[in-house]
Amino acid sequence: MMMQKKEEKKFNPIPIYSLFIANAISLVGNVFSALAIPWFVLQTTGSATQMGITGFFTILPVVIAGFLGGTLIDRFGFKRTSIVSDLASGVTTAMIPLLHFTIGLQFWQLMALVFLGALLDSPGGTARAALLPELARQAGMPIERATSLTHVIERGARLVGAPLAGLLIGIIGTENVLWLDAASFFISAGIIWIVISEQKPIEKESKSTGYFDELREGLRFIAHDKLILAIVIMVMLTNFLDSIFSGVVRPVYVKEAYGSAVSLGLLIAANGGGAVVGGLIFAAVGHRLPRHAVFVWAFVLTGMQFWMYLFYPPIAVLVTTGLIFSMGAGPLNPIIGAVEFERIPESMRGRVFGAITAGAWIAMPLGVLLGGIFTERLGIFPMLIFLGVTYLIVTLSMALIPAMKEMNKV
C-alpha cells in the first residue's frame, strides 16, 4: 500500500498543464495575427490578389521551417527551441506596428516581416508538440487524452481569439492588435522557461552525425511508413482546399456580404467552437471507436460547410451551421497525433514532425496565391462550388486507401 502511494506521488501534472497554458496564449495571439493582417491588407488595398500574396508569405515559411528546422530541433532541444522561437517571433511581430507608427510600413516590408514571423514561429510549435509525450508520462496521462486536450486548446484558441480579435480590431485598430500578438509570444516563452525542466539527452539510434544525413533519415522514415505517408498526402490536399477558403474566399465573402471583421471573427470562432465540442466528444468515447471510420466521416462532415455559403444566409445561420459541421474537425488532429506518437521514435521526433508539418502545409502557399487570383477573376460562387465538390471527392477517397486502414491496428 505504501509503495503504491509512493508511485502516485511521482506524477507531476504541473508541467503538462503549463504547456497547455503556454500553447493557449501563443495560439490566441496567432489567431489575432491571422485575422488582423489579412484584414489590414484587404482594408487598405481592396485587393484579393494582394491578400493571397500575404497568405503565401505566411504559409511558405512554415513549409521551409518544417523541412529544414526539424533536425535543428532534435539537436538544439525541445525546450530551448520553443523559448528561442517564441522570443524571436515576438520581436518580429512587434516590428509591424512599430514601423507603422514611426517611419511607415511598405507592403514589401510587411511581407518580409510576415515571412520571418512565420519562419521563426513554426519550430516553436513543433518543439512544444515534441515535449508532449514526456510531459504526459510525468503527469500519468494517457497519450490519447493528452493529444485530445492539445487540439481542443488549439481549436479553443480560435473560439476565444477570433471574435475577440474582430472586436478589438473595431475598437483599437489592426495595428494595435499586433502588439497583443507580440506580447503573447513573450508570455509563452516565459512559461516554458520557468516551468518546464530541461530534457534528458536523447540517445541517437544511429551514428549519423551530419545535418543533412539526419534530415534525409527523417524523410526516409515518412516515405517507408505507408500510413504516415498517406496521412501527409491526404492532409496536404485538404489543407490546399482549406487555405483557398479560409485565406481568401471567406474573408472576401464576409466583406462583401456582411462588411465587418466581427462577422469574420464569429465564423472563425464557430469553427473553433465546433471543433472543441467534437474534440471533447472524441476524448470521451474515441477509444471505443474505429479510428479509420471516424477519420473519414469526420473529414466529410467538416467539408459540408462550403455548401452553406452558396445560399448567402444570415450570419446567424452560417455561424450555427459552421459550429455543427466543424464538430467533424475535432477528432482529426487527435487521431493523427496519437498515430504519430505511437509510430515515431523519440530520437527522430523533431525532424519527422517537422517534415510531416512541411508536407501537410506544402500546398497551402500555392492555395492562397491561386485562391486570390481566381477569386478576383471568377468570383466567389464558382470558387465555392469547386471547393465543395473537390473536398467531398478527396475526403471520401480516404475510405478506399488500404494504408489508412492501419490506423485501427496501431
User: Tens of pLDDT along 149-162?
Assistant: 887 887 777 677 77
CATH code of the region 12-196+207-409: 1.20.1250.20
Averaged over 247-257, what is the pLDDT? 88
Most confident stretch, 38-42, 98-102, 189-193: 189-193
Q: What confidence score (pLDDT) does residue 327 get?
A: 92
Q: What confidence score (pLDDT) does residue 309 get?
A: 93
Residue 122 predicted with pLDDT over 80: no
Most confident stretch, 6-15, 149-158, 324-333: 324-333
Which comes out higher in pLDDT, residue 115 or 203? 115
Averaged over 210-223, what is the pLDDT? 73
Tell me the pLDDT band of 145, cut-offs 50, 70 and 90: confident
Which comes out higher in pLDDT, residue 31 or 392? 392
d(CA 214, CA 221): 11
Q: What confidence score (pLDDT) does residue 260 get?
A: 78
Q: What confidence score (pLDDT) does residue 349 get?
A: 72
Neighbours of 167 (CB within 10 A): 15
Residue 410 predicted with pLDDT over 50: no
pTM over 0.75: no
High-pLDDT (> 90) share of the chain, %: 18
Q: What confidence score (pLDDT) does residue 209 get?
A: 54
d(CA 92, CA 30): 13
d(CA 144, CA 148): 6
Residue 256 predicted with pLDDT over 80: yes
Q: Could you tell me how many helices (H) and strands (E) the chain has, helices first?
A: 18, 0
398 Rama sector, left if φ>0, alpha if ψ -120 to 50, beta otherwise: alpha
Q: What share of the chain is helix, strand, coil (3-state, %, to 5)?
A: 85, 0, 15
Residue 255 predicted with pLDDT over 90: no
Q: What confidence score (pLDDT) does residue 7 get?
A: 47
Residue 384 predicted with pLDDT over 90: yes
Whose cell is 500578438? That residue is 181
Q: What confidence score (pLDDT) does residue 70 get?
A: 66
Residues 55-67 have pLDDT tens digits of: 777 777 777 776 6
Neighbours of 276 (CB within 10 A): 25
d(CA 70, CA 156): 26
Q: What confidence score (pLDDT) does residue 304 get?
A: 93
Most confident stretch, 68-72, 148-152, 183-187, 360-364: 183-187
Tell me the pLDDT band of 207, cut-offs 50, 70 and 90: very low
344 Rama sector, left if φ>0, alpha if ψ -120 to 50, beta otherwise: beta
Tell me the pLDDT band of 6, cut-offs 50, 70 and 90: very low
Residues 268-284 have pLDDT tens digits of: 888 878 888 898 888 77
The three cell numbers locating residue 330: 475535432
Pick from 301, 307, 305: which is nearest to 282 by CA? 301
